[in-house]
Structure 1
Amino acid sequence: MENHRNNEALVEHLSGLRGRIPLSRRNFLAGAGVLAASAAATGMIAGCSPQTPAEGGAGAPSGSGEAMAATGEAAAVTGNEGKTMGEVLGAGWLGEEPEIAADEIAQTQEADIIVCGAGHAGTAVARRAAELGASVIVVEVQPEDTFSALGNDIGHLNSSWQLDRVGIPEYSVVDFMNEYQMYGAGRVQPTLLSQFANRSGEALDWFIDGYTEDEKNELIPLNWPVVEGYNYKKGPFTSYVGTCQFGGSVGMTDAVKRSQDKARAAGAQFVFGQAATRLVHNEDGTEVTGVIAKDSSTGDYVQYNGRAVVLACGDIGSNSAMYNAICRENYELGEYKDCSAMSGRDGSGIAMAMRIGAKVEIATGGDMGSHAFIPLSPMEGVECLWLNKYGERYCNEAFGGPLLSGCAGAREPGDRAYLVWGNDWKEVFLNQLAGHLAPKEWDDETIANVQATMEAAVGSGAEGDDTSGKFLYCADTLEELCDYMGMEEGVKANTLAAIEKWNAAHDAGIDTEFGRDPETMWPIKDGPFYGYPCSKRVGGGSLVATSGLLVTGRQQVQGQGFEPIKGLFACGNNSGGRFPMGYNGIMNGVSIGMCLCLGYTLGEYLATEDFDRYCTLGAGNADIKQSENGMAGPPMGGGGEGEGGEGGGEGGAPAGDGAAGGEGGAPAGDGAPDGGAPAGGGAPA
């Protein structure tokens, strides 16, 4: 199999910017501009087409962060029952829909499906739907001649490219779904996850259909081949190697353009240089019948009517007000440093839907990494021994990779950590859980680069060595290593004790302290010993945000009562349900992989199914009978005098006396007002 290598100058430049050793030049692509190349350099990927804040997103006239932040008042802390999420969460920044008079609309066009955004997700929707006979119009804010797509890796399972051409073993879709839900704390939309697990390989093969044999040979399977004796299972998690990287003559932007051409050949129409501005909907926001877009060249408005409108126009990266609100964990971890992302999109597609009553992801919200402390050493996100500022071990370092295990470190005191390993660095390096922030390849060139870094550190003493762009320390004894890393005596003592416990757990074959798989605990007994002190950065955003609109398993946007809004769908980074707790490291390229696969399945669904039926199906079901013999429930909100009064209403615990007379009810004033979680301690609305 041939692997494509090119763009030497860009590789060196980006390696310098990142402060890392150039593990392998195959990790980088000749991309469309520095933004796309930077996405590849970080090993992270985004879901839709980039745009500048000046261009706006899918709604620049009213949807920019500046416009949103300048309108409205903050929501009251209480008394919001019955309001939409936009009215509560978006109070102070979401703003109102723009007023566009009928005589301002220069023309009207119609199709079965209107897609906002021609990136990974939007193009997949359009192509698949058109191939199956639907009429489709795609509205994209970028000009056609400068169109570009972010990223370069497509994560997936069990494509024929993986199984037949590359020779990667078939993965269990059952294991994958269960592991993925662990990453998402059970909050991942199960039907979307099932579609990805079962059909992402099919979508990848469809995406590259028509490529020549040489072009298919240039596609790079990340972390393949694995080293001899590699154990795919690390504790409860699997290493899903074989992500498809577009590292040859067909880069990611060209690949998306090819897919657009196939969509056109099937009858889809693409309109570039127009920003979707306002949804066309009924008075109460329960039905969408079109979208109004503004032409960036003429300033004219064009209305596109359709039975389905698909929002696939990017994340919230340049809209800090929206980012801070939706990705609350990241905002708070950064101690309220404004979040932003490199994607350049302002969340306007999401804002259009929120303004008519749509909900966004109900969780902490997520982006590509600022929810976790990721100690990237000269060996990347190596799962060696991690110590906090006190020299104490604080977590299972190998629990699902740094984007998951790093959540613990994000909450540790202080702004630094220490990584320690022994002279068996090669075994440690070559047996990592494959995924985001781990090395992408374990080939001879990669190993040689790491070895050069290790050898350069030998004898560097207290000065350390920064051959890799990061200061690495090496010593013959652990005591010397602690001194070289600048540890005070108490921290040094804790470090030596932590290493002793680590070695004992390895020897005993069980880590009762944090539950790490002992097969991944390499003993730290023989020198030379290596240490890497690193600063901690969390919050503030990253490459792209990954939280969007709350959707059903059919990718219908959900509004009040969690009911689907008729005619409105979301895909790609406009959609929630994929990374509710933050971007995960289950495999490289899973973001674009989700965009591609779920765009593929959504296009198929819209072209072949009666999707409107789910807006009325079940409405005639009989009411649920309520027994009078069951245990009384908690009070239904309120709880103060005049709202249930001293008795707490019907069947509830006394509002003021808590559990004193009511069998198990928590006192309303002691951390559980109105029967809920402590005020201020729960998840944001």
Structure 2
Amino acid sequence: MKETSANGFSRRDFLKGAAAGTMSIAALGALAGCAPAGGEAAKTMASTGEAAAEGSSYDVMGQLSTFNRGEAPDKVAATTAEEYIISKGDGVLSAGGGCDPLGITPADFMLNTPAWLGEAPVVDNVADTESCDVLVVGAGNAGTVAALRCAEAGKSVILAEMQTYDEYDEYACDMACYNNSLFLQKGTPEVDAMDVFNEYMRLSRGHAHQQLVRDYATRSGEMFDWMCTHIPAEYVEKYAKTSNYKGNENFNGNCCGQWSWPAMVQWRDEETNINMWPFVIRSVHSAFENAGGQMRWGYQGVVLVKDGEAVTGAIFQDVDGTYHQIDAKAVIMCAGDFGGNPDMRLDLSDQMRNLAWSYGADRTDVSAIGGMGRDGSGIKMCLWAGATMEGGPRAGQAAGVNGVPGFAFGGNWPCFGNDGKRFMNENVVKHGSNGFLDMLPEGFLMANVTDANWETYLSYQGFGHETMDRSSDYMVAEVRANMDAYVTGPDGFDVRAFSRFGKEYSTVYAADTLDELADIIGYAGEAKQNFLAEVERYNELCAKGHDDDWGCDPQSLFPIKDAPFFASFSTTGGNPSGGLCQHAAVCTDGGYRVLTGAKAPIAGLYAAGNNCGQRYGIQYATPTAGNSCGSALTSGFCAADSVIADLA
């Protein structure tokens, strides 16, 4: 192995320079490989690749490193600390142990232009062309808000949506919007937006775009209040549920170092619990049209139109197959995620692909990676125009096992596994992928247990997806009635599951003794004895006020002592779930302008919602439930402001 790079830098020089911060990026890049790119290594790569292309296998064993394997046969290991220090000389670290590349051909590995992307389509039979100031692609949360905002600023705006008017539907109704008036008017304390910002950046480990996250933390309430002025007051009064606006009286705001705040509005019908947002958002579409905007229903985006490097519009295909061109001074892409595109999901979502691989599945098989979402067409249109995807890891929203089988009324509760023992800190589970929970084998039993004090215990728990909306009296009343009418025994009883939509119920099991509850769960023999002993141990930790075993937050240590005792349990299926939508998308600057690989804005092109990357960094997380929609709406609001300013 050679220690000097093609341009004369040694690894020793590299490490000295890196420590001092003196080497240029170009110099660092030159040292990325263990051998220089030219000379014998390049010849080896070429010949290896050619052989593989002809059907031969790659010489994997020939790739192994020889670092410190006979290179200094006379070397003697130090026997004392003093000898070792002398042997290290100036003490600068040395690197090694790498190997030459196999020279894998693009056909056998990966492509800068993936097969799912290909080349931009050429459409030469456009039936008609129209023009506007601002073209918004996608009439979901982000696009609808962006279009209305621009129209109110006096811009001529066309909002194109791939669904038809009569078929239009939306995914969700949960909107986390901090310091919105619906909460503040009910007496909810104002949240420090910088606390919100810092928590999201902490959860993203710094991978998210700070300006985009700050916009969400500081402007989501403003956006929501503005949006509600365009929704009939009777809809706001009837359907906008301010989840947990009263707060949980015994919760201090922080659990195991994770902050959560009440800020989520859910658009639900009380009687049916149906998601009303797909209906309510139509009033925002109407407000847009009343402001002079034009809707184009059934318009599937095909490709962006460019003049040189600038984007000047887009071409669409209607439901009859006819192509239409819309020219614009600015285009805001809000066409949604790629979760519904199996090929994009396979290539782009490294978390889901490798999660499948960790289960022994073929990670090149699209059927091994499920998911929901849009077709990714908006992202492809941006990439053809010169955009780049945000860097990884690209995690699917809630990919993998999302958590333990909680009660219908939510909450974090002691969780017991196959052997009857507690096996985790239940407090740290958040919406998203949950690490080792993704790795549980098929048939692994997980049981949540609580006692007669379940409702009191909820008052000590956080928000997010951890607990029921205790501010909605109709929810609390029905759940309380269900629980008061409990039936002991193995058949269980039904409890309304308000965390989902519609009139769904979950089975809860009750028993007069822990011994009987263990039988219902299915514990027998040693597992049953473990369970009973573990509950006793857990209660001792609750009395102590410190979880020595798993670190549960003291405010969430709820003893299991008073009959009746309740359980909710299930077994894992042995395969990772596909999760929800995908948040990874194209790179933008702080003004939602889409960027090239050189991080220069593409003139005329903007992105919001799930076309806008870097909003979550490594993984979706919920200090407040509903921030996927809240963040999307806010990004559309702020992207519109950037467009308005740029066009001015």
Once the two structures are TM-superposed, the CA of residue 427 in structure 1 deviates from its matched residue by 1.8
Pair 1:353-2:373 in alignment: no
Pair 1:279-2:294 in alignment: no
From 429, 437, 459, the counterpart of 1:409: 437
| Per-residue deviation, residues 460-502 of structure 1 (Å, max 9, x unmatched) | 1xx2414245443333443443333222434334434543443
From 90, 93, 106, the counterpart of 2:127: 106
- Written as runs of structure 1 = structure 2, the 5 A alignment for 1:501-516 is 501-516=537-552
Look up the match of 1:181.
201
The structure with more radius of gyration: 2
From 316, 332, 335, the counterpart of 1:293: 316
SS of structure 2 residue aligned to 1:279 = strand
Aligned residues: 524
Question: Aligned letter for 2:509?
Answer: Y
Once the two structures are TM-superposed, the CA of residue 191 in structure 1 deviates from its matched residue by 0.8
| Per-residue deviation, residues 273-295 of structure 1 (Å, max 9, x unmatched) | 21110122367xx5433211112
| Contact 2:398–2:433 (8 Å) recurs in 1 | no
SS of structure 2 residue aligned to 1:290 = strand
Look up the match of 1:550.
587
Going from structure 1 to structure 2, the CA distance change for 1:528 and 1:241 (only over 3 Å counts) comes to: same
Of all paired residues, the percent bearing the same amino acid is 29
| Contact 1:317–1:323 (8 Å) recurs in 2 | yes
- After superposition, the CA RMSD in angstroms is 3.3
Once the two structures are TM-superposed, the CA of residue 339 in structure 1 deviates from its matched residue by 3.7
SS of structure 2 residue aligned to 1:561 = coil
Going from structure 1 to structure 2, the CA distance change for 1:479 and 1:92 (only over 3 Å counts) comes to: farther
Once the two structures are TM-superposed, the CA of residue 411 in structure 1 deviates from its matched residue by 2.7
SS of structure 2 residue aligned to 1:148 = coil
| Per-residue deviation, residues 483-534 of structure 1 (Å, max 9, x unmatched) | 3322243433443454344333322322344332111110123433322221
Once the two structures are TM-superposed, the CA of residue 248 in structure 1 deviates from its matched residue by 6.1
Pair 1:323-2:359 in alignment: no
Pair 1:195-2:215 in alignment: yes
Look up the match of 1:303.
325
Going from structure 1 to structure 2, the CA distance change for 1:179 and 1:471 (only over 3 Å counts) comes to: same
From 140, 143, 148, the counterpart of 1:122: 143
Look up the match of 2:451.
422
Look up the match of 1:475.
511
Gaps of 5+ in 1: 1-75, 612-685
Once the two structures are TM-superposed, the CA of residue 156 in structure 1 deviates from its matched residue by 0.2
Pair 1:519-2:548 in alignment: no
Once the two structures are TM-superposed, the CA of residue 154 in structure 1 deviates from its matched residue by 2.3
| Per-residue deviation, residues 161-202 of structure 1 (Å, max 9, x unmatched) | 3212x2221111122112222333332221111011111111
Look up the match of 1:255.
280
- Written as runs of structure 1 = structure 2, the 5 A alignment for 1:427-576 is 427-436=456-465, 438-441=467-470, 443-454=472-483, 458-460=487-489, 463-468=490-495, 470-536=506-572, 539-576=576-613
Distance 2:251 2:381 in 1: 48
| Per-residue deviation, residues 7-44 of structure 1 (Å, max 9, x unmatched) | xxxxxxxxxxxxxxxxxxxxxxxxxxxxxxxxxxxxxx
| Contact 2:183–2:245 (8 Å) recurs in 1 | no
Going from structure 1 to structure 2, the CA distance change for 1:505 and 1:437 (only over 3 Å counts) comes to: closer
Pair 1:333-2:355 in alignment: yes
| Contact 2:244–2:262 (8 Å) recurs in 1 | yes
Distance 1:607 1:354 in 2: 24
Pair 1:167-2:167 in alignment: no
Look up the match of 1:32.
none
Once the two structures are TM-superposed, the CA of residue 242 in structure 1 deviates from its matched residue by 4.0
Once the two structures are TM-superposed, the CA of residue 606 in structure 1 deviates from its matched residue by 0.6
Once the two structures are TM-superposed, the CA of residue 79 in structure 1 deviates from its matched residue by 8.8
Look up the match of 2:228.
208
Going from structure 1 to structure 2, the CA distance change for 1:93 and 1:380 (only over 3 Å counts) comes to: farther
Distance 1:318 1:570 in 2: 19
SS of structure 2 residue aligned to 1:504 = helix
| Per-residue deviation, residues 408-450 of structure 1 (Å, max 9, x unmatched) | 4223344431212233222233433222363234555434443
TM-score normalised according to structure 1 size = 0.69
| Contact 2:150–2:640 (8 Å) recurs in 1 | yes
Question: Aligned letter for 1:184?
Answer: S
| Per-residue deviation, residues 301-338 of structure 1 (Å, max 9, x unmatched) | 22223332221112223212212333332344354554
Distance 2:582 2:541 in 1: 38
| Per-residue deviation, residues 25-68 of structure 1 (Å, max 9, x unmatched) | xxxxxxxxxxxxxxxxxxxxxxxxxxxxxxxxxxxxxxxxxxxx
| Contact 1:395–1:405 (8 Å) recurs in 2 | no
- Written as runs of structure 1 = structure 2, the 5 A alignment for 1:40-79 is none
Look up the match of 2:88.
none
- Written as runs of structure 1 = structure 2, the 5 A alignment for 1:635-654 is none
| Contact 1:388–1:394 (8 Å) recurs in 2 | yes
| Per-residue deviation, residues 388-417 of structure 1 (Å, max 9, x unmatched) | 333343332112x54158444223344431
SS of structure 2 residue aligned to 1:281 = strand
| Contact 1:273–1:296 (8 Å) recurs in 2 | yes
Look up the match of 1:268.
293
| Contact 1:505–1:518 (8 Å) recurs in 2 | no
Distance 1:130 1:211 in 2: 16
